[in-house]
């Protein structure tokens, strides 16, 4: 979970992940300001073995139940889950690589 560009830098992600994650965080920083509160949202980097139900602790339901839209950015599928209609929510970044979180990728592709 990321909520600042500083956290993205500290995570030392590989270049093929950092571009999409950093861009998503910067978007939230432009909307809510630097160091925004997680009640406004955050960015999640999907890990290789993640499944849609792994979203339950973060959003209270499997990923597919709340997914609003998906787009492609920097070799990743990027999905958005909103909490109501205020614009607050979670941005999901899933590297689009063979075998990487295949169930999450399939779900995100359905929303393209």
Number of domains comprising the chain: 1
Q: Which residues pair with 110 in a beta bridge?
A: none
* Domain around 67: 5-110
Rounded to whole angstroms, the Cα distance separating 46 from 27 reads: 18
Q: Which pLDDT score is estimated for 2?
A: 93
Predicted local confidence at residue 97, as pLDDT? 95
Percent of the chain with pLDDT over 70: 96
pLDDT in tens, 48-68: 999 999 988 888 888 888 888
Dihedral, CA of residue 73, residue 78, residue 83 and residue 84, to nearest 10: 70
More confident residue, 33 or 4: 4
Q: Pick from 11, 5, 13, 10: which is nearest to 35 by CA?
A: 5
- Using 50, 70 and 90 to split pLDDT, how confident is the model at 35? confident
- The answer to whether residue 13 scores a pLDDT higher than 70 is yes
42: how many CB neighbours lie within 10 A of its CB? Answer: 21
Mean pLDDT over all residues of the chain? 89
- pLDDT higher at 78 or 1: 78
Please, which pLDDT band fits residue 86 given cuts at 50, 70 and 90? Answer: low
pLDDT-based confidence at residue 82 (cuts at 50, 70, 90)? confident
pTM of the model: 0.90
């Amino acid at each position: 979970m990321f909520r600042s560009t500083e956290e993205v830098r500290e995570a030392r992600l590989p270049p093929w992940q950092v571009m999409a994650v950093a861009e998503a965080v910067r978007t939230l920083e432009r909307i809510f300001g630097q160091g925004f509160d997680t009640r406004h949202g955050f960015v999640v980097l999907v890990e290789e073995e993640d499944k849609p139900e792994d979203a339950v602790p973060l959003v209270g339901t499997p990923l597919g139940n709340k997914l609003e839209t998906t787009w492609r950015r920097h070799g990743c599928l990027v999905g958005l889950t909103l909490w109501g209609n205020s614009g607050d929510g979670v941005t999901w970044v899933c590297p689009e690589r063979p075998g990487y979180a295949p169930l999450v990728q399939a779900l995100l592709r359905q929303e393209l």
